Structure formats: C-alpha cells, structure tokens
Amino acid sequence: MDILAHLLWSYIIFKGIPNMNWALFFGIFPDLFSFAPNFLHLLFTNGWRKYKKKSLQEVQKIIPPYIFMIYDITHSLIISSVTIGLVTLIGGTFPIFMLAWPVHILFDIPTHTKDFFPTHFLYPFSTFCVNGIRWGQAWFMVTNYTFIIVLLFLKSF
Ligand SMILES: [Zn+2]
C-alpha cells in the first residue's frame, strides 16, 4: 500500500492512544527506511532517468539490492514482534504505538503481488509470500481512499 494510505490508516487505528505521533511514525517506518535512501540518492543525482518508461519488472531489476534487504527486514512480522518484545522487556511497558509497525505489514501482505516487492512477512526464516493484488491499481486506490475518507470523517466526531 502507498505510504500516505499507511499514515492515514495508522491515524484511524491509533488515534487517541498515548504517544500517537510515534504510532504514525511506526505506521510509515517500514517504507520510509526501505525507500528514502534510494529516493534521496536519485533526487540528488538526477538518477530518475534510468527508471523512466520502464515496466515494474524492469524497474525491479535496476533497484539496488540493499533496498530489497531493508524491505524484507522492515516488513517481517518476526523482526517487528521480536523488536516490540525487546522494547517491552527493556522499557517495562508495552509500547502500544509500536503495533502500527506489524499493522503496516498486515496491510502490505494482501496488497503486494509476488512480482513487485512481495511481503516476506516470515523473514528471515522464510521467503513465503502471498500473491496479493497490486495496490497501485485505480480501483484499489479509489476503494481504499474512500474507506479512509469515510473513517476519518466518522473519527472526527
Ligand atoms: Zn510497506
């Protein structure tokens, strides 16, 4: 799912909890850490040209391999659960706001296909993934943002 939708869903789900801003951060952190380094690199080197007029499969071949590694780490239910467990042990309280991280992954599992950034949610133990739908399709974007807008409206009362 796109990063703005992740942010808005995090707001809808975690509005009103203590440290809600951290929930917003953890709701986008898996994509932010995966894509921001390459985004900044392309921005400052004008590297966008090599991505122009390419299919998703062609784009996937020229994306630096480290991005897939970061994506797998930040999109693992195993790694997010262990991290939340460690933070709970060290901090002495359960960080509810960090649940936005596994929620992000749960949203990504059915909204990614095997062809483009599949969500290996059992990484590093398995590269199993669900061949879901492509979130960039118009019908999905319209449906998703309709739900988001309606729920934001209902949450505003
Ligand atoms: Zn993601």
What is the 119 CA–ligand 1 centroid distance (Å)?
A: 8
C-alpha to C-alpha distance for 82 and 44, rounded to whole angstroms:
35
pLDDT digits (tens, 9 = 90+) for 121-148: 999 999 999 999 999 999 999 999 999 9
Q: How many CB atoms lie within 10 A of CB 130?
A: 15
What is the 78 CA–ligand 1 centroid distance (Å)?
A: 15
pLDDT digits (tens, 9 = 90+) for 3-26: 999 999 999 999 999 999 999 999
Show me where the domains of the chain are located.
Answer: 3-155
Tell me the pTM: 0.90
What is the 65 CA–ligand 1 centroid distance (Å)?
A: 17
